[in-house]
Structure 1
Amino acid sequence: MRRLVMTFLLLGASLVHAADLPETDWLDLMPKSDQMALEQMPEIDHDSPEAQGTFTDKGGLKQSKGLPAVMYSTKTVASMNGKHIRLGGYPVPLESDAKGRSTLFFLVPYPGACIHVPPPPPNQLVLVRYPKGLKLDDIYTPLWVTGTLKVEKVSNDLADAAYALDAGQVRVVKEEDL
């Protein structure tokens, strides 16, 4: 019985800890040199096949050629490696389980990054692994993702990411969170 009570107390403490975890800002994932380069970047031309409603067979998220180097940056912040974080963002689903729940997805800092041009730099894309899965009805639904962040370069047909996160909790952002 005592073990059950201790387990309950520890579980409750970890849930409170996750809820109290401060939000990590997306810019915390980007070195200061990249932040300065983004601030100095000229306006991006949105005249592309994606902007006209046509996409590659992979969905259109990959970077097009000819953008400033910072838009391809995989530079990371070493102090973020292994850090337990809570990050808010929007899902770009990659894999689902048999029940249709997303178990692997990119988390991006703004809604519709999978269809806007250009997509975020790789150091602003996080691959989220969530074996429990989450039913996603809409990619425009903001999420809180809590877990351990890793500096890990990931490349697939859809996009490149400089970080991965093993999620312990994923939930939809509620109005009272704002």
Structure 2
Amino acid sequence: MRRLPFLFALLFASSISHAEPPELDWLELMPDDDRQALEEMPDISHDTPEGDGDFTARGGLKQKARDLPAVMYSAKTVPALNGREIRLGGYPVPLENDAKGRSTAFFLVPYPGACIHLPPPPPNQIVLVRYPKGFRVEDISIPLWVDGRLRVEKVSNELADAAYAIEASAVEPVEEEAL
């Protein structure tokens, strides 16, 4: 009978260690003033140049328009999120692949087609995901759950500017209705 409490404690500890991290909403990545500015923003054009070819030739996720409200260029972050284990749902924009064709680095964005619709999300709505284990991206319109440690980290390359990065511990496809 002395083993029963030990077994319950072991089962409880095991279930805690395999629990999913808390889910983070994309708007939580924005400071309050940015969130308010986004809510008050007038409608903007969402031209869709899908027929123009590869999105990387057009600049990808980088803001090209200079006449948008300031919130659309914002790289302001929420420092309290730095180092938190989180779960974030979004859509991949592949960057680097391993020898087996699995994506080991990609940008995660809040909506599908962010790389081909203009304007793209602001830097504080783009997250660089590093996942050395790799994940096969079959279709960029299939949403993913990304679990891992979020970092406030400015990342800039020819494709995008991001204000956050995640060292992913897990990446998995998710039903879009669950996002």
Give the TM-score of the pair, scaled to structure 1.
0.85
C-alpha separation between the residues in 2 aligned to 1:110 and 1:137?
Answer: 17
| Larger-Rg structure | 2
String of CA shifts for 1:119-145, please: whole Å, max 9, x gaps.
111000000000000011100011000
Between the two proteins, the alignment pairs up a number of residues equal to 167
Unaligned runs of 5+ in 2: 1-9
C-alpha separation between the residues in 1 aligned to 2:73 and 2:158?
Answer: 15
String of CA shifts for 1:59-80, please: whole Å, max 9, x gaps.
5321113211110100000100
Verify: 1:53 aligned to 2:55, yes or no.
no
Please tell me the root mean square deviation across aligned C-alpha atoms, in Å. Answer: 2.4
Instruction: Tell me the residue number matched to 2:150.
Output: 149
CA contact (8 A) 2:105 2:131 kept: yes
How far 1:14 moved relative to its partner? 5.9
Amino acid of the structure 2 residue aligned with 1:16: H
How far 1:53 moved relative to its partner? 2.6
Instruction: Tell me the residue number matched to 1:79.
Output: 80
Instruction: Tell me the residue number matched to 1:119.
Output: 120
How far 1:41 moved relative to its partner? 1.3
How far 1:38 moved relative to its partner? 0.8
Distance of aligned partners of 1:176 and 1:28 in 2 relative to their CA distance in 1, 3 Å threshold: closer
Instruction: Tell me the residue number matched to 2:105.
Output: 104
Query: Kindly, what percent of the aligned residue pairs are identical?
Result: 66
C-alpha separation between the residues in 2 aligned to 1:83 and 1:172?
Answer: 22
Verify: 1:43 aligned to 2:43, yes or no.
yes
CA contact (8 A) 1:92 1:114 kept: yes
Unaligned runs of 5+ in 1: 1-7
Instruction: Tell me the residue number matched to 1:17.
Output: 19
Instruction: Tell me the residue number matched to 1:89.
Output: 90
CA contact (8 A) 2:104 2:133 kept: yes
C-alpha separation between the residues in 2 aligned to 1:175 and 1:152?
Answer: 27
